[in-house]
Amino acid sequence: MHELTFEQMENILLAHEKAELEMDIEATMATVSPDGRWEFPSDGLVAIGHEAIREHYRRMLPGAQQWNIAAEKRVHAGGSNSLVREAWVSWNTPEGGRLKGLYLVVMTFDPETKLISAERLYTDSNYAKFMERQLDVETYKDFPGVHTIESVAPVIDTHDAFAMAQSRGMTIDGKYGRK
């Protein structure tokens, strides 16, 4: 498997964001892997597969336009077929004000298809409330392909720092996080 360059991933992300800002769900979905996985830890949900992710955008994009969402990156970093973007975000309120907050999204890319294969969107409490309202979490959680993170997350019995320390000739004293 080969790795995408930072520029290639940024180009895929730009096509994705362009489609979102133009409210073109089909073009947005054209940048998403068919077996994509979108996680929303702030809401405790994960959308798995094209239809669950499409439903996310069907619910979110109209609000993004209606409430004039704007974001400005603070940190943009890349790794092996992944990008991390932290940004300030602002949006209008129904009462006429303008709220602001933060989000951090971790994206992974399929290097063969050159599509986004996963997003993990972490938000502050302000933006989490906005997303809850736009998604209508109470009905979205029942949409096919949408699950609680609790229902799909693995059980971790031993903190991975123990193995990392051991591989570097170190030991960690104590039993916290160790089976």
Q: What residue numbers bound the domain in which 99 lies?
A: 6-167
* Predicted confidence (pLDDT) per residue in 8-47, tens digit: 999 999 999 999 999 999 999 999 999 999 999 999 999 9
Strands 98-110 and 115-123: antiparallel
Higher local confidence (pLDDT), 178 or 26: 26
Q: What is the pLDDT of residue 1?
A: 59
> Domain for residue 178, yes or no?
no
Query: Percent of the chain scored above 90 by pLDDT?
Result: 80
pTM over 0.85: yes
CATH number, domain containing residue 27: 3.10.450.50
How many domains, the chain?
Answer: 1
Would residue 152 count as lying in a domain? yes
Tokens at 9, concatenated: 């991933």
- Could you give phi then psi for residue 10, rounded to 5 degrees? -60, -40
Q: pLDDT digits over 69-81, tens only?
A: 999 999 999 999 9
